[in-house]
Amino acid sequence: MLFFSNKESAFFIIFGKVKRPNLRLVELSVKYIDPGYDKFIFDAEKLKEEYQFACEWISSYGIDYQKTRFGDYERDFVEFLNKKGKVEAKESLRVFFNAHLEANELIRIKNVFDKHKELIDLDSIKKAVSGQKFRTGSKKDQSRDFAFELGVATRFIKAGYYVELNNIADLVAQVNGRTLYVECKRIKSQRQLEKRGK
């Protein structure tokens, strides 16, 4: 468990076994912690459990998730929590939060497509889990682009719409009796966003 605080805010980062906080630490910082902070401890444990299920889901397709970027993220969590001595805080947090973001996205994709197996196949999973470790690692990363398409599709599916993948568009959704052709584009630069948004 890691605890960060300043006069404006405080938060816990927990990924692993939850240990009882040092009572003195809690007494010194109680005025900076929102009531109910223990909810976030539970949420972190739930995230760890759900991430493990999501990694097992990847493995159920015959893919060794340890050899994908998701295995890297799992190792990043462990390394973040086990670092001793002086560390570069900014880089350490950048790696941790990247892994956290990716874990949440994988969990969302797994939870939706696990219930809609007809929409996804082995090739789709392979394509989505490969790619660069960091979103900013390369401007041309087809795996991340495809994973982004799956993420967008999950939002339509969760909203109750029928979705097709592998069509003439990145995804096709049936919305209120109309066919919606969706092209999914990850934002890679401010300039490209402005150019395409006109």
3-class DSSP assignment, residue 59: helix
Selection from 9-13, 116-120, 135-139, 163-167 with the highest mean pLDDT:
116-120
Please say whether the beta carbons of 27 and 20 come within 8 A. no
Residue 46 has phi, psi (to 5 degrees) of: -65, -40
Q: Report the candidate in 120, 105, 126 with the shortest Cα–Cα distance to residue 164.
A: 120
Structure tokens of 186?
């990850």
Residue-wise pLDDT tens digits, 105-130: 999 999 999 999 888 888 888 888 88
Residue-wise pLDDT tens digits, 41-67: 556 678 888 999 999 999 999 999 999
Asked if pLDDT for residue 29 goes beyond 60, the answer is: no
- What global pTM score does this model have? 0.71
Please say whether the beta carbons of 169 and 156 come within 8 A. no
